[in-house]
Amino acid sequence: MKAQPLAAWAVGVVAALCAVFAPPARAQAPDSIYVAGSVRVDVSAGSGVAAREQAITQAEALGFQRVARRVTLASDRAALGPPQATGAALQRMVQRVDVEDEGNPTATRYRAQLSVRMNADLVRSHLRSAGYTVVEVRASPLLVIPGAAGVTPQAATMWREVWEQSGYAGDLVPIAVAPATAPTSPEWSRVDDIARAASASGALFANLTVSGQVYRVTVTETGPNMANRARGVLEARVAGSSDAVHRTALASLAEQVNDLVQEEWKASTLTGAGQPVRLQVSALYASRDDWNRIKQGLQGAARLISAISIDAVALDGALVSFSYVGTRPQLTDELRRNGLALSDGPQGVELRVVRP
């Protein structure tokens, strides 16, 4: 990169860089990972008071399970079994239970949607002492578009509802659900504005179909300057005809899709021990269009990249620093998926647009 005087458009580039590289959405308080929202309970007992007490106890256990699943690896859970906490140990880990939405209590029934806040230090210690690896690095949000074709209107509505009521917004890769009006064809340009409004760096199209008693979802990921990435076809069998049975199957399917996203993220952060590494690159551009593509590519790679800053700027490039998690090969692959090439040059690490 040559140290030439700034052209007029390069001044605009500096302003754009400063505007774009504000603190990213993933810079959240670690304790927020230990809050389980949208915990639904429906308990009947001999009295309304007893029903509420039992519902709170149930919510505490469900909240722990949700948080523990969020920060542990599927491989650990397969080897060690699901994390457990009961009795006094669980009570110590629960900081508080808040009401998000409460149905009309009756003399014998309590229904509500609750939020359970766990003590991060105690849960972390409990899981690690039981042999689980704990992952707490958070990514930028991912937009999910729940589409449906060839299913009943009721199933299409339920498919959207299980996503909206899932509580996945609190996961390590926070899930933002697109509005019902969002197009379901996997094209980034058609959901770009929606993703930006949700601070999402990418989009996941989850299109539902049905064959007999089996629901299937075709999962496609896309993002700025990124070719569509097929994530596979997942399925769940319906064991009955009631709405409750269908909703359970669809919720299971949404959980499979979310697990696909979350487990890949956790594995990528652990490869680099989850510790951010600081890197300075020469971002090379020949035009404003090049810069826009670099900007979009860095935004698209926000799952690995954070804390971007500008160290210097010239006519044909800028020195840009950022932190990333994972390994250099993972970073290179993620940037390439977003239309950028990262390589070692004669004067250090270089970043440029991938040419067709």
80-93 per-position pLDDT tens digit: 999 999 999 999 99
Confidence category of residue 221, pLDDT binned at 50, 70, 90: very high
* Residue 260, pLDDT above cutoff 50: yes
Mean local confidence (pLDDT), 70-76: 96
Return the top range by mean pLDDT from 178-192, 223-237, 291-305, 311-325: 178-192
Q: Which residue has the tokens 């952060």?
A: 269
The mean pLDDT of 35-45, rounded to a whole number, is 95
**Beta strands at 142-148 and 202-211: parallel, antiparallel or unpaired:** parallel
Q: Above 60 in pLDDT, residue 109? A: yes
Residue 12 pLDDT level (bands cut at 50, 70, 90): low
* Mean pLDDT confidence for 187-210: 93
DSSP letters for 284-314: E-SSHHHHHHHHHHHHHTTTTEEEEEEEEEE
> Do 173 and 159 form a contact (C-beta atoms < 8 A)?
no
Q: Where are the beta strands (DSSP E) in the chain?
A: 35-44, 94-102, 109-118, 142-148, 175-177, 202-211, 214-223, 226-237, 277-284, 305-314, 317-324, 340-345, 348-353
**Bridge partners, residue 340, by sequence:** 353
Question: What pLDDT, on the 0 to 100 scale, is given for residue 210?
Answer: 96
Q: What is the pTM of this model?
A: 0.74
Q: What is the DSSP letter of 326?
A: S
The number of C-alpha atoms within 13 Å of 51 and in the hemisphere containing its C-beta is 18
Tokens of 293: 């593509």
- Of residues 252 and 308, more confidently modeled: 252
For 3, other C-beta atoms within 10 Å of its C-beta total 10
> Predicted confidence band at 13 (pLDDT cuts at 50, 70, 90)?
low
Shortest CA distance to 160 belongs to which of 147, 151, 173, 141?
Answer: 147
In angstroms, the CA 207 to CA 306 distance is 31
Mean pLDDT, residues 221-245 taken together: 90
The 3 state secondary structure assigned to 174-190 is CEEECCCCCCCCCCHHH
**81 vs 66: CA distance, rounded Å:** 14
